[in-house]
Amino acid sequence: MKTIKIALVGQPNVGKSFLINAMGDVKLKVGNFSGVTVEKKTITFSRDNYNFEVTDLPGSYSLTDYTSEERVTKDFLGASDYDLILNVIDSTNIERNLYLTMELLALDQKIVVALNMQDEAVKEGVHINERQLSKLLGVKCVQTSALEKTGIDELIEAIINTNKQSSQPFHLQYSDVYEEEISKITHFLEDKHYQTNTHLKSIAIKLLREDGETYHHFHDQPIWTELQPLLNKSYQHLYLHYKTKDLDEIFHDEKNALAKGAVTESVKFDTTKAVGLTDKIDAVLTNQFIGLPIFLFLMWGLFQITFEWGSIPMDWIDAFFGMLIDGTKSFLGDTELASVIADGAIAGVGAVVLFLPNIIILFTGIALLESTGYMSRAAFLLDGFFHKFGLHGKSFVPLVSGFGCSVPAYMAARVLKNDRDRLLTLYIIGFMSCGAKLPVYVLIIGAFVAEEHAGNMLFAIYILGALLGVFAAKILKMTVFKGEDEPFVMEMPKYRLPTLKLLYHTVSEKAWMYLKKAGTYILLASILIWFASNYPKHPDMEAQYASNIEQVVADENKVSKLNNELALYNLENSYLGMIGHASEPFFAPLGFDWRMAVALETGLAAKEIVVATMGVLYGLGDEHDEQSASLVDKLKANISLPAAIAFTIFVMIYFPCLAASMVFRREAGGWKHWGYLFVFTTGTAWILAFIAFNIASVIF
């Protein structure tokens, strides 16, 4: 069987994925384009004795390279590791879609155009004469509806036929002025017997657009000395004629004029069939006054559901892993092997799997927001506020998710298509205190704040974190991410109901990605942390305590006291304890002792562990939670108020947990950013905690 490699190209939301799925029994493989966090979807299926290998390129309005998605599309098309381009078009908005098609046609590749959403076009009174359009564009155009599965066979046939053809002649005919300059260049190249596989006209257009790569290519050749003056003369002509010195703009003008012309000649609009559902919905949802309250209500609902409903399966997962840990221990006995498997590996992986329900619910919500088209409306409503701090309207989803858990929040930052906007958002997500920090706050507040103020205090901590976050954004924007504002300009797509299948695919992809990647790192790291907190062993101390415990075996209180002492001794003298002691000088200016240092360091694994560690270190055994009255008393006795305040601030800001930081590394695009984030968060946390400690020491 023969294989046809297809590059699937189209503007966003034209139904590309849908159309491919309608073609048969497809197999989907999701990966990443190398070096960037852009999903690469490869779809394979066979039909009519052919294997089809489709690369679903990210939706792009035109072939530019401002966002990493656009760059991926442009580079892929340029590298031409494919047999033909399948350009999918939204028939209901054909003119704008043809702008992209005109750019593709200038690439000199085999192209088939699918005029998709034909069902909707008919309803909206858009009638396309596909034969006429095919003739005008010089490539086969086929009307399809991915929804009603019409035109699919014809499309496949067109693909197979086009693939068989040797190569399509360059068909587009630009304006006389532009054509004249093109032919000057092509004639020159012909005269020079310039050898190439690409159509000369396509090269000439690239030169007339000052395309960087093409320029580079010619620059190193002898032909350049004669070509350059020729080009300069052409540019001057164009400048004069178009009254602008922007060569890209000139090309776009040409291309858009062609698209307009093609539409005029091949499309009939029946204006009596005005459809205004989207307008009606928008009159409410983006209303100047009620739009924002509606949005806030929807977000509130989403987070309620995520963390309320999510907590139910989370309890099950927690119980399941608890059982697994107990089971492993009783099966393998009280051995080191049992401990590393149960307390290290299983507990660590369990901590990751625990967040799965949150992820699934939150991403179902986000997928709904995105696929219905509401996301753009929300960004529209919020951009004014966020832009003040150098953020983008769409930043709200990841930032608000950050209050639940940073892991899905980092993943949600992908809604931002622009690298700089996305990075900035990623860097400040940690300022939104996640759910796992709650126990720490509750514990500290319980120890130092009167009960009637506890609720307000907790709220204040969250607000303070968020405020610090937006100010940090402002500062980062003015320093590291400075430069021109990225354009906000964004399409408000038509409202659509997504299909269940689409939702399922989007959400399950996210869930798998989370489980696979975070899971492997966490597994390793958990084992490492287990090792650091359990080694080196101190057999003599253990023997001594064992005999001491035997003597008081009748008195349960004494036994547990001795057990705690032993646990404390072991932890203090473990590698982790040593690190804690070693890092004491670093934390001393903040008023922290080695125990608080260790608590913070174990908190790097997961923020929940901070409380558990403090429980052990302040001599209470590890079975304590934030409600424990005696732990509260111990803290009060051992920690000064200024140190407690500094500690709270440090926890609020410092490095996210292991699972989250691994996801951050992936989303931000490398260890470099992981390192920056570490320095940035730890540095900010230290400085602010230092200031707070010193101010508080003066006041109290």
Ligand X SMILES: Nc1nc2c(ncn2[C@@H]2O[C@H](COP(=O)(O)OP(=O)(O)O)[C@@H](O)[C@H]2O)c(=O)[nH]1
Residues that bind another protein (CB under 8 A): 61-62, 64, 66, 92-93, 95-96, 99-100, 246, 248-249, 252-253, 256, 278, 282, 286, 288-289, 291-292, 376, 379-381, 383-385, 387, 393, 484-493
**Burial call 545-582: b when 16+ CB within 10 Å, e when fewer:** beeebeeeeeeeeebebbebebbbbbbbbbebbebbbe
Q: Give the separation between CA 614 and CA 594, rounded to whole angstroms.
A: 11
Among 147, 324, 532, 541, binds ligand X (CB under 6 A): 147
Nearest approach, Cβ of residue 427 and another protein (Å): 22
Between 358 and 371, CB nearer to another protein: 371
256 binds, among ligand X, another protein, none (CB under 5 to 8 A by kind): another protein
Answer with the entry of ligand X, another protein, none that 147 interacts with (C-beta below 5 to 8 A by kind): ligand X
Among 65, 119, 157, 211, binds ligand X (CB under 6 A): 119
Contact between 683 and 427 (Cβ < 8 Å): no
Our CA dihedral for 130, 133, 138, 141, rounded to 10 degrees, sits at -30
Residue 13 binding result from another protein, ligand X, none, given CB thresholds of 5 to 8 Å by partner type: ligand X
Tokens read off for 190: 């012909």
CA pair distance 104, 427, nearest whole angstrom: 37
> CB of residue 41 vs ligand X: minimum separation in angstroms?
9
> Between residues 15 and 350, which has the closer beta carbon with respect to ligand X?
15
Pick the closer one to ligand X by CB: 69 or 608.
69
Nearest to 656 by CA among 392, 412, 409, 391: 409
Token pair, residue 401, equals 């998710």
Of the pair 141, 208, the CB lying nearest ligand X is at 141
The interface partner of residue 247, options being another protein, ligand X, none and the CB cut-off 5 to 8 Å by kind, is none
Per-residue interface string for the shown chain with ligand X, residues 478-497, x marking contact by CB under 6 A: ------------------x-
Site for ligand X (CB under 6 A): which residue of 17, 60, 134, 306? 17
Provide the minimum distance between the beta carbon of 274 and ligand X in the complex, in angstroms, as a whole number.
17
**By the rule CB under 6 A, 503 interacts with ligand X:** no
Residue 32 · residue 40 · CB < 8 Å: yes
Query: Can residue 89 be called a binding residue for ligand X (CB under 6 A)?
Result: no
Q: Which does 116 bind (CB under 5 to 8 A by kind): another protein, ligand X, none?
A: ligand X
- Provide the β-strand partners of residue 84: 6
Residue 10 sits in the site that holds ligand X (CB under 6 A): yes
Q: Is the omega angle on the peptide bond into residue 536 within 30 degrees of 0, that is, cis?
A: yes
Closest CA to 151 of 102, 225, 86: 86
What are the C-alpha distances in Å from 238 to residues 181, 228, 235, 293? 8, 15, 5, 52
The nearest distance, CB 585 to ligand X, in angstroms, is 55
Q: At what angle do helices 176-191 and 200-208 cross, to 10 degrees?
A: 120
Rounded to the nearest whole angstrom, what is the least distance from the CB of residue 485 to another protein in the complex? 8
Burial status of residue 42 (CB atoms within 10 A of its CB: 0-12, 13-18, 19 or more): middle
Residue 100 binds which of another protein, ligand X, none (CB < 5-8 A, kind-dependent): another protein
Give the residue among 122, 39, 147 at the shortest CA–CA distance from 502. 147
State which residue, 295 or 647, has the beta carbon closest to another protein.
295
Among residues 43, 117, 473, 609, which is the contact residue for ligand X, using CB under 6 A?
A: 117
Binding residue (CB under 6 A) for ligand X from 14, 381, 611, 646? 14
Residue number with CB closer to ligand X (146 or 259)? 146
Q: Are 43 and 31 in contact (CB under 8 A)?
A: no
Residue 147: CB minimum distance to ligand X, A: 4
Distance CA 659, CA 555 (A): 42
DSSP bridge pairs for 113: 87, 141
CA-wise closest residue to 412 among 299, 564, 549, 563: 299
- The CB-based long-range contact list for 276-283 (8 Å cut-off, 24+ gap) reads 277/495, 278/373, 278/494, 278/495, 281/495, 282/377, 282/492, 282/495
Indicate which of ligand X, another protein, none lies near residue 252 (CB less than 5 to 8 Å, by partner kind): another protein
Report the largest interatomic distance among the alpha carbons of the chain, rounded to a whole angstrom. Answer: 105
When binding is defined by CB under 6 A, the residue of 498, 519, 621, 669 that contacts ligand X is 498
With CB under 6 A as the contact rule, the residue among 4, 7, 15, 113 that binds ligand X is 15
Please say which residue, 500 or 554, places its beta carbon nearer to ligand X: 500
Residue list 48-77, contact with ligand X (CB under 6 A): 59
Of the candidates 431, 432, 457, which has an alpha carbon nearest to the alpha carbon of residue 443? 457
Considering CB distances under 5 to 8 angstroms, the limit depending on partner class, which of another protein, ligand X, none binds residue 488? another protein
Q: Give the nearer residue to ligand X in terms of CB position, either 16 or 74.
A: 16
**Chosen residue from 499, 508, 520, 627 binding ligand X by CB under 6 A:** 499
- Part of the chain binding ligand X (CB under 6 A), chosen from 96-104, 145-153, 278-286, 583-591: 145-153
Residues engaged in binding ligand X (CB under 6 A): 10, 12-18, 59, 116-117, 119-120, 145-147, 371, 496, 498-499, 502
